[in-house]
Amino acid sequence: MDESGFRLPPTNPDGGWARAHAPLLARPLDLTAAPPVVNRPISTVELHTHHLTSHPTGWAGESRAGLGLLLSGALGAADPDGVAIDDGPCPYCGVVHGCTAALANGGPTSPVYFASVRQGDRAVHALAETPVGLGLALAAGRDREALRAARKTARLAAAAGAVSRGPCGEPRTTGVARTVRYVDAPWQPGWVVSVVWQERDRDGS
């Protein structure tokens, strides 16, 4: 059974009739084209897939360059060098939680949260107004159980990144509503990419 026919019970966070969402589209990112326009505020999540064309030893750097281009566009910075990345350890507990944000140097712009995953020559980048995480898993087959296992692995990896830095008192995620979706990944059958982001409070905070 391919993923289009993949169904889980409605109580399962990885799919099912109660969560029958079409996969989210990720727009292609081309470093040789004009910088993409990222409108603020980002209503849900902005997704881009990045085909890395350099030598394999340069894939990581090319992926970072693509992310920097997206962030500079979202923050209104003239170039990626004008973006300040906050990806250090949490000021409260000293642990790197994996949630990262960016600000424009010297600007009043609100931060953009971001996440990236890379496998081989393909990277996926996500931008959001709230903490966001991405997770990628490779299904061991095309049957129901293999896809379910891959979805759970991808979802848990993405959820680990969608946690605000700072609120480290146990439990850190209690009361935080998060949205779980999956990314359309037609470039490689068997890849499962999950994206999880924190929902805004009703007051917009």
> Going by C-beta distance under 8 Å and a sequence separation of 6 or more, which residues neighbour residue 76?
104, 107, 109
Question: What are the φ and ψ backbone dihedral angles of 179, each rounded to 5 degrees?
Answer: -100, 135
pTM: 0.82
Q: What is the pLDDT along the chain (205 residues), one digit of tens a residue?
A: 334 343 434 445 555 444 556 789 999 998 888 778 889 999 999 999 999 998 999 999 999 999 999 998 888 877 777 788 877 776 666 766 666 888 888 766 788 999 999 999 999 999 999 989 999 999 888 788 888 889 899 998 898 888 766 555 444 445 578 888 999 888 788 889 999 998 876 444 4
In the chain, what are the domain boundaries? 3-198
